[in-house]
Amino acid sequence: MVRVIFYEKPGCKNNTKQKTLLTAAGHEVIAYNLLTEPWTVERLRSFFGDRPVCEWFNRAASRVQSGEIVPEKVDAETALLLMLKDPLLIRRPLMEIGDRREVGFDTEKIDAWIGLKPKDPTLREITQKLFEQDLQSCAHKHEHKHHH
């Protein structure tokens, strides 16, 4: 069992499913509101590791969808400043486990990292379905066409 610090947008369906998977696997999830967290540039930057800047963004954010912000054309410094002003732009969730930080929810990567298989056989069926879903993108009706 590990303790997972989990920054989410409260009410986001996918964040809820992600927490369900973590909890079912026996981990302790401590959830924080990503949108009200007092981020600093340094702290936020530490979650993105060596991923390209375009992978830091929440593709479902309206300012990205509208084309106002094009993640591929933004440099790291600008991206971080935009995100501090408008945390909806931050890809969710941000997770902190021990001294490691990650962005997004790649089920296979997380399974390899801390294990996502449920301890309880009755939970396996439920979580198997979650495992097969795309838990990366946000599940709003108008966004189902956008797959990255």
Residues catalogued as catalytic: 12
Spatial distance between the Cα atoms of 84 and 68, rounded to a whole number of angstroms: 17
Residue matched to tokens 């945390």: 87
| Structure letter (DSSP) for residue 120 | S
Which ranges constitute the DSSP H helices of the chain?
13-24, 41-45, 62-65, 76-85, 107-114, 121-132
Residue matched to tokens 């340094």: 42
Nearest to 104 by CA among 127, 129, 137, 64: 137
